[in-house]
Amino acid sequence: MIISLVYAVGGNPGTTSSTSGFGDWSFIIMMVVIFAIFYFFMIRPQRKKGELVMPNPAKKHLPKKHSPFMRAVIIWLLILIAGLMLQTFILDVVINIKTTSVPENIVLVLVGLSYLIVIFLSFWGAYKVYRKYDSINKEMIAAYKDPLTCLPDFEATQVIMGVDDLVGLAIDEEKKKVCLINYASNEFRVIFYKEILGVEVFEDKAIIAGDSQKTKHEGTVSRIDVRLTINDTRQPIFDINYLHFATKKDDPAYQQALQRARQCHGLIKVLIKRADMEDKQQAQAAKLGTLHPVNQAISLADELKKMSDLKDSGVLTPEEFERQKAKLLNT
pLDDT bucket at 209, cuts 50 / 70 / 90: low
State CA 50 to chain mean position distance: 15
* Conformation bin of residue 182: beta by default, left when phi > 0, alpha when psi is -120 to 50: beta
Enumerate the H helices of 96-155 as residue ranges.
104-143
Please report how many Cα atoms fall inside a 13 Å half-sphere around the Cα of residue 128, on the Cβ side.
Answer: 8
Can you name the residues that pair with 198 across neighbouring β-strands? 229
User: d(Cα 316, Cα 321) in Å, to the nearest integer?
Assistant: 6
Q: What angle do CA 207, 270, 155 make, to 5 degrees?
A: 115
**Secondary structure tally for the chain: helices H, strands E:** 9, 10
Angle between helices 318-330 and 293-312 (to 10 degrees): 170
Q: Quick check: 105 pLDDT over 50?
A: yes
Average pLDDT taken over every residue of the chain? 76
* CB contact set of 13 (below 8 Å; sequence gap of 6+): 3, 6, 7
pLDDT bucket at 296, cuts 50 / 70 / 90: low
Of 89-93, 179-183, 315-319, the least confident: 89-93
State CA 8 to chain mean position distance: 48
Is the Cβ–Cβ distance between 259 and 210 less than 8 Å?
Answer: no
Residue-level pLDDT at 6: 43
Residue-level pLDDT at 45: 60
Helix (H/G/I), strand (E/B), else coil: 195: helix
Top pLDDT among 233 and 134 is at: 233
List for the chain the helix, strand, coil content (%; round to 5). Answer: 60, 15, 25
Residue-level pLDDT at 186: 87
* pTM assigned to the model: 0.52
Does the structural domain 154-278 have CATH classification 2.60.40?
no
pLDDT bucket at 246, cuts 50 / 70 / 90: very high
Top pLDDT among 213 and 177 is at: 177
User: d(Cα 169, Cα 240) in Å, to the nearest integer?
Assistant: 8
| Strand ranges for the chain from DSSP E | 158-161, 167-172, 177-182, 187-192, 196-203, 206-208, 220-221, 224-230, 237-243, 247-248
Residue-level pLDDT at 44: 61
Residue-level pLDDT at 174: 92
Q: How far is CA 223 from CA 57, 208, 241, 250, in A?
A: 21, 12, 7, 15
Q: Quick check: 266 pLDDT over 90?
A: yes
Domain with CATH 2.30.29 in the chain: 154-278
Q: Quick check: 152 pLDDT over 70?
A: yes
